[in-house]
Amino acid sequence: MQVNVDRESRTPLYLQIKNQIRQLILSHSLQPGYRLPPERKLAAALGVNRSTVVNAYRELEADGLIESHVGRGTMVNFIPGGEAGEELYLTLPPVWRNFYSSRAGRMNNPFISNILDMVAREDTISFALGVPAQEFHPVEYFSSIISGLMNKEGSALFEHGPTAGHYPLREYLAGYMAKRAIQAGPENIIILSGSQQGLDLAAKVFIEPGDAVVIEEHTYMGAIQVFAAAGARIFSVPMDEEGLQVDVLEQVLARYRPKFIYTQPTYQNPSGIAMSLARRRELLRLAYRFHVPVLEDDPYSELHYEGGFLPSLKSLDTSDHVIYLSTFSKVISPGLRLGWLAAPSDLARQLLMAKQLDDLHCNTLAQSVVNEFCRAGLLQAHLAMVREEYRKRRDAMLASLEEFAPPGLCWSRPAGGFHIWCSLPEGVHAGALLSRAVEKKVTFVPGDVFCANAGGTDRLRLSFSRCSETIIREGIRRFCTVLSKMINTGHGLDEAARQRQDLGQLF
Amino acid sequence: MQVNVDRESRTPLYLQIKNQIRQLILSHSLQPGYRLPPERKLAAALGVNRSTVVNAYRELEADGLIESHVGRGTMVNFIPGGEAGEELYLTLPPVWRNFYSSRAGRMNNPFISNILDMVAREDTISFALGVPAQEFHPVEYFSSIISGLMNKEGSALFEHGPTAGHYPLREYLAGYMAKRAIQAGPENIIILSGSQQGLDLAAKVFIEPGDAVVIEEHTYMGAIQVFAAAGARIFSVPMDEEGLQVDVLEQVLARYRPKFIYTQPTYQNPSGIAMSLARRRELLRLAYRFHVPVLEDDPYSELHYEGGFLPSLKSLDTSDHVIYLSTFSKVISPGLRLGWLAAPSDLARQLLMAKQLDDLHCNTLAQSVVNEFCRAGLLQAHLAMVREEYRKRRDAMLASLEEFAPPGLCWSRPAGGFHIWCSLPEGVHAGALLSRAVEKKVTFVPGDVFCANAGGTDRLRLSFSRCSETIIREGIRRFCTVLSKMINTGHGLDEAARQRQDLGQLF
């Protein structure tokens, strides 16, 4: 008899036991006459009090499903059919996990949803969110654009639109990308409900369970999760300061014949690394040689603070191997839920088939607003402003780290994007540090979240985009205080590190 | 040697042949020394002119990939490695279909995307779109709600929000559903990017390739397609004027143990049928008996024109078997891309995991606008208005059909919703009729689109929601003229029917 208890459920334990036995009886898995285990024995097997099982059996007996016989134990009753039986069925809700697909079993990490819930928490200094600062959303412009559109377009703003997206916006994006040496016509472009949707569409169109996919050693968690949910075998290729290590990549491509290489070449999340031009060319050459498409995720390239604009893989691609993905979430506002992709025509058509079954098309008003915003030249002006501001915030965070960091903490110096990637002193576990930091009202994202496999527990991501320079300094001060205390007291350190610490205190 | 030609492609045939052989050579599928088939033979096999193959071979020879030897035929050259070889790789784009998943192969029906492209075509009277009339979108209210929100909330309207949706809107929906006897708290509700997303989430969470799913004999095409793409075996249960035939359903449930029953009990799309109360209860009893969840899609229940509001399956569900799905697309405006689902807590949590990987969350502004609209009591007022208007349109279409229909055309008389479901005179194929109707500037949706399997070619759907009464009369006049002409001339009728027609003309 298979019965489990879930101690985290709100359903009392006795009721969990009762419900499961009831279902086993009603589904005829336990036949009339079957002898239930003695209360004491079942209690021991489940690790619950005997009284819990007693209560469960008592209720089952009251429902007429089982009967106790002195000397013979407790047995399953014969359940009459007809009305009485049906009434019993009526009271038994489904155990939903019995109905789930294997894909559902691979979708069990609530991290993204949890982090989104934290957006509006005000008492804590958050370096956890890699999104634009609320105060930079161009609300005034949006306001006047919307009233203008309402007068001009009226009800058309609430109509269905094409699955591929608002045509003028696709046309704008074709021109915008052309200026960055990407050749893509409106027919190659699909407007997405955020670039997350592009990852989902790519997973749907490419990934068969068991297929190999290549990612960077640490990367955007939403990509890892969506590829994993689709059943991909995920191969992480290490990075150095020039980006993806192409010599390792070559071996992985030769060995595993992946469906695609997922990469963020420019100001990678979480590392902030910008892939060198030589590496970009080498990556493409390998993609061509091994006939492997490249999914280039490029949310940050406009947010460069030094060194100028870097060419995308798509712009270097002479053989249509690159699928380009970007978003308005980082350069304008994430609540718009708008991104886009550019793909060769054949593939764009197939991605469109997938998109129509996802959500038909994106919000019509949002697409029109962004189109007007961009065409009025406001995107360029906005970018000039935020680049300047985010550069200051980056510098403030780097300076605060210089000022407060205890020995052993290392960090990156990104030329663009939103993130600083830290490596912790030996023995400090990012998860343990986070729980202490939360108490002191400062948060970040621990590194393991960005890793497909084990690893990353000695790393963490600090995002500087959402806090003013003053707040950044205070947040880094708190963060470093927590970290220093952890190192100095040894509390929360890994066992091995604590032992070394103890030895150190002896001498 | 595997070479295919695609006559619908824009790539010239000779180039298609050249590219494929080139890829075979570069991927080493054709080894150096391999003898290519003679030009004449390959031309015959592919059904192309000999000169097409000659041109293909000539280009391959010019690229140094093959060589003709008098008396020995055409052979694959040895390709040197290094720079020259790599240059060749650089010019060869991927054949994308070689990379697709089996799911992608099941996503090949562009119907929804095509119909969305037709939204704004003005020269034709369209009975094809089952969406609200453009003139009823509450633009004035939206306009003032948005300016109010912009002043009050400002930048918060462009921030990330929770994956489950804007909390006040979920709270409103909990109250709204409670008035319809559905018990669901905000924690049971997920705001969706249209109810299409709910279908996609259900497919992801429940369907393993090969799983059985039960649908109604004819139903929403987006549901059929998303279940089919997920690899479901789809079983259609026939309907009569009371809805799903539960006696047949019972057999299907007993035989195939489906993952869920997908049903639109109220003013079903396309049939307009409202399931009787007795059938609803019987359907639930069967769901309980066979332990099968029910996915209730309820877009139309508020759009009732006679007979009052019908209880949803969810409101009758005493055992948490029903997942409830609805949308703002039919009662307010489809361009908002907002719908919602209500599910038992365990399941809601799992659906949320899937939603976070789809698009993180829905457009923030749209959710706030709808929340304000509903909470100001405007939804109820709007519904009262549109019910009245759509009832007139339905009556106009019914009256026009009475006036113009040729003998043999039958149609439904729906008590709510947007659709009239027609059955064509014997021998008239809805697809053939549509191509003639389009010429005469009137459109509808042929019935086969709503069927998972063969069938429906003698049915069609006329949607009355988007046209004024005058336009409806003119459209139905055109439609009936085309149909009558087809019957009277026999052109375009099925062969069997034409023969009977000929016989009829003889006597």
Residue B279 falls inside a structural domain: yes
pLDDT of residue B61: 87
Q: What percent of chain B lies above the pLDDT cut of 70?
A: 94
pLDDT exceeds cutoff 60 at B81 = no
Residues 6+ apart with CB under 8 A from A154: B139
Give the mean pLDDT of A48-54: 93
Geometric angle at alpha carbon A296, from A290 and A298, rounded to 5°: 160
CATH code of the domain in which B442 resides = 3.90.1150.10
* CB-closest option in B139, B200, B346 to A357: B200
- Boundary-marking domain end, from A331, A351, A376: A376
Give the mean pLDDT of A90-103: 81
pLDDT of residue A495: 62
Residue B343 falls inside a structural domain: yes
Residue B5 falls inside a structural domain: no
Give the mean pLDDT of B179-203: 96
Per the prediction, chain B carries an average pLDDT of 90
pLDDT of residue B505: 46
CA dihedral A213, A219, A223, A228 (to 10 degrees): 50
The answer to whether residues A356 and A393 belong to one domain is no
CB contact under 8 A, A357 and B289: no
Give the mean pLDDT of A369-396: 97
Counted domains in chain B: 3
The answer to whether residues B278 and B188 belong to one domain is yes
pLDDT of residue B96: 87
User: Distance of CA A52 to CAs A26, A91, B187, Å?
Assistant: 21, 21, 29
pLDDT of residue B498: 59
Helix%, strand%, coil% for chain B, nearest 5:
50, 15, 40
> What is the DSSP code string of B44-88?
HHHT--HHHHHHHHHHHHHTTSEEEETTTEEEEPPPP-HHHHHHH
Tell me the C-alpha distance between A142 and A362, whole Å: 18
CB contact under 8 A, A359 and B352: no
Geometric angle at alpha carbon A398, from A394 and A403, rounded to 5°: 145
| Residues of A with Cβ-Cβ distance to B206 under 8 angstroms | 99-101, 104
Residues 6+ apart with CB under 8 A from A121: none
pLDDT exceeds cutoff 70 at A58 = yes
Residues 6+ apart with CB under 8 A from A340: A165, A170, A173, A189, A190, A191, A192, A195, A198, A325, A326, A327
pLDDT exceeds cutoff 70 at A294 = yes
Q: Nearest-CA neighbor of A370 among B363, B162, B121?
A: B363
Residues 6+ apart with CB under 8 A from B142: A150, A158, B369, B373
Residue B49 falls inside a structural domain: yes
pLDDT exceeds cutoff 60 at B343 = yes
A419-423 vs A459-463, strand pairing mode: antiparallel
* C-alpha distance from A88 to closest chain B C-alpha (Å): 10
Residue A91 tokens, joined? 């009271």
Residue A264 falls inside a structural domain: yes
Which of A24-33, A247-256, B296-305, B351-360 bottoms out in mean pLDDT, i.e. has the lowest?
Answer: A24-33
pLDDT exceeds cutoff 70 at B23 = yes
The answer to whether residues B186 and B87 belong to one domain is no
The answer to whether residues B360 and B217 belong to one domain is yes
pLDDT of residue A34: 85
pLDDT exceeds cutoff 80 at B367 = yes
**Residue scoring higher pLDDT (B501 or A358):** A358
The answer to whether residues B355 and B500 belong to one domain is no
pLDDT of residue A395: 98
CB contact under 8 A, B288 and A112: no
B233-237 vs B212-216, strand pairing mode: parallel
The answer to whether residues B170 and B161 touch, using CB atoms and an 8 Å cutoff, is no
The answer to whether residues A351 and A464 belong to one domain is no
Q: How confident is the model at residue A410 (pLDDT cuts 50, 70, 90)?
A: very high
The answer to whether residues B157 and B290 belong to one domain is yes
Scan for tokens 């259900």, then name that residue: B202
Q: What is the pLDDT of residues A122-173, one digit of tens each?
A: 688 999 999 999 999 999 999 999 999 999 999 999 999 999 999 999 999 9
* CB-closest option in A163, A207, A225 to B116: A163
Which of A73-77, A404-408, B303-307 bottoms out in mean pLDDT, i.e. has the lowest?
Answer: A73-77
Collapse the DSSP code of A337 into the 3-class scheme (helix H, G, I; strand E, B; otherwise coil) and give the result.
coil
Residue B299 tokens, joined? 């877009």
Longest dimension (CA), chain B: 87
Q: How confident is the model at residue A265 (pLDDT cuts 50, 70, 90)?
A: very high
pLDDT of residue B413: 96
Residue B8 falls inside a structural domain: no
Residue of chain B minimizing CA distance to A343: B96
Distance, C-alpha A129 to centroid of its chain? 12
Q: Which of A80-89, A419-428, B307-316 has the highest mean pLDDT?
A: A419-428
- Boundary-marking domain end, from A335, A355, A376: A376
pLDDT exceeds cutoff 90 at B24 = no
pLDDT of residue B2: 83
Geometric angle at alpha carbon A358, from A324 and A175, rounded to 5°: 30
Bridge partner list, B37: none
Residue B414 tokens, joined? 């729906």
Collapse the DSSP code of B491 into the 3-class scheme (helix H, G, I; strand E, B; otherwise coil) and give the result.
coil
User: In one letter, which amino acid is A278?
Assistant: A
The answer to whether residues B286 and B260 touch, using CB atoms and an 8 Å cutoff, is no
Tell me the C-alpha distance between B284 and B253, whole Å: 12
| Residues of B with Cβ-Cβ distance to A100 under 8 angstroms | 205-206, 350
Q: What percent of chain B lies above the pLDDT cut of 90?
A: 74
| Residues of B with Cβ-Cβ distance to A157 under 8 angstroms | 139, 335
pLDDT exceeds cutoff 50 at A507 = no
Contact with chain B for residue A226, Cβ under 8 A = yes
Which of A246-260, A285-299, B71-85, B470-484 bottoms out in mean pLDDT, i.e. has the lowest?
Answer: B71-85
> What is the DSSP code string of A7-25?
TTSSS-HHHHHHHHHHHHH
* CB-closest option in A291, A335, A362 to B158: A335
Contact with chain B for residue A149, Cβ under 8 A = no
Residue A489 belongs to what H/E stretch? helix A469-489
Q: What is the pLDDT of residues B262-285, one digit of tens each?
A: 999 999 999 999 999 999 999 999
The answer to whether residues B366 and B390 belong to one domain is no
> What is the DSSP code string of A385-400?
HHHHHHHHHHHHHHHH
Q: How confident is the model at residue B497 (pLDDT cuts 50, 70, 90)?
A: low
Residue B376 tokens, joined? 């100001």
Which of A208-217, B300-309, B376-385 bottoms out in mean pLDDT, i.e. has the lowest?
Answer: B300-309
Scan for tokens 């589904």, then name that residue: A27
Residue of chain B minimizing CA distance to A200: B358
Give the mean pLDDT of B463-478: 97
Residue B405 tokens, joined? 């229909």
Q: What is the pLDDT of residues A303-320, one digit of tens each?
A: 999 987 789 999 999 889
Q: What is the pLDDT of residues A101-113, one digit of tens each?
A: 988 888 888 888 8
Tell me the C-alpha distance between A187 and A154, whole Å: 27
The answer to whether residues B274 and B367 belong to one domain is yes
Where do the H-state alpha helices sit in A91-194? 102-105, 111-117, 139-152, 167-178
The answer to whether residues B101 and A208 touch, using CB atoms and an 8 Å cutoff, is yes
Bridge partner list, B342: B189, B324
Residue B200 falls inside a structural domain: yes
pLDDT exceeds cutoff 60 at B330 = yes
Tell me the C-alpha distance between B190 and B348, whole Å: 7
Contact with chain A for residue B295, Cβ under 8 A = no
CB contact under 8 A, B159 and A333: yes
Tell me the C-alpha distance between B416 and B306, whole Å: 7
CB contact under 8 A, B162 and A116: yes
Q: What percent of chain A lies above the pLDDT cut of 90?
A: 73
* C-alpha distance from A282 to closest chain B C-alpha (Å): 12
Residue of chain A minimizing CA distance to B366: A363
Q: What is the pLDDT of residues B121-150, one digit of tens each?
A: 668 899 999 999 999 999 999 999 999 999
CA atoms within 13 A on the CB side of A447: 20
pLDDT of residue B27: 72
pLDDT exceeds cutoff 60 at B499 = no
pLDDT exceeds cutoff 60 at B506 = no
- Boundary-marking domain end, from B321, B344, B376: B376
The answer to whether residues A223 and A343 belong to one domain is yes
Q: How confident is the model at residue A79 (pLDDT cuts 50, 70, 90)?
A: low
The answer to whether residues A211 and A302 belong to one domain is yes
User: In one letter, which amino acid is B289?
Assistant: R
φ and ψ at residue B220, rounded to 5 degrees: -55, 125
Geometric angle at alpha carbon B167, from B165 and B168, rounded to 5°: 125
The answer to whether residues B285 and B299 touch, using CB atoms and an 8 Å cutoff, is no
Q: What is the pLDDT of residues B95-131, one digit of tens each?
A: 888 889 988 888 888 888 887 776 656 688 999 999 9
First to last CA, chain A: 59
Contact with chain B for residue A293, Cβ under 8 A = yes
Tell me the C-alpha distance between A141 and A379, whole Å: 11
- Measured N-to-C along each axis, helices A82-90 and A13-26 cross at an angle, to the nearest 10 degrees, of 140
- Measured N-to-C along each axis, helices B82-90 and B13-26 cross at an angle, to the nearest 10 degrees, of 140
Tell me the C-alpha distance between B284 and B293, whole Å: 9
Q: What is the total residue count of chain B?
A: 507
The answer to whether residues B307 and B452 touch, using CB atoms and an 8 Å cutoff, is no
| Residues of B with Cβ-Cβ distance to A156 under 8 angstroms | 120, 134
* C-alpha distance from B306 to closest chain A C-alpha (Å): 27
pLDDT of residue B474: 97
pLDDT of residue A95: 84
Q: Nearest-CA neighbor of A326 among A292, A291, A374?
A: A374
> What is the DSSP code string of B407-430?
TT-EE---SBSSEEEEEPPTTB-H
CATH code of the domain in which B188 resides = 3.40.640.10
CATH code of the domain in which A71 resides = 1.10.10.10
The answer to whether residues B417 and B324 belong to one domain is no
Residue A3 falls inside a structural domain: no
3-state helix/strand/coil string of B347-394: HHHHHHHHHHHHHCCCCHHHHHHHHHHHHCCHHHHHHHHHHHHHHHHH
Q: Is the peptide bond before B270 cis (omega within 30 degrees of 0)?
A: yes
pLDDT exceeds cutoff 50 at B192 = yes
CA dihedral B146, B149, B151, B154 (to 10 degrees): -110
Per the prediction, chain A carries an average pLDDT of 90
First to last CA, chain B: 59
pLDDT exceeds cutoff 60 at A505 = no
Tell me the C-alpha distance between B466 and B132, whole Å: 6
pLDDT exceeds cutoff 50 at A506 = no
The parent domain of residue A40 ranges over 13-99
Q: Nearest-CA neighbor of B351 among B90, B102, B163, B111?
A: B163
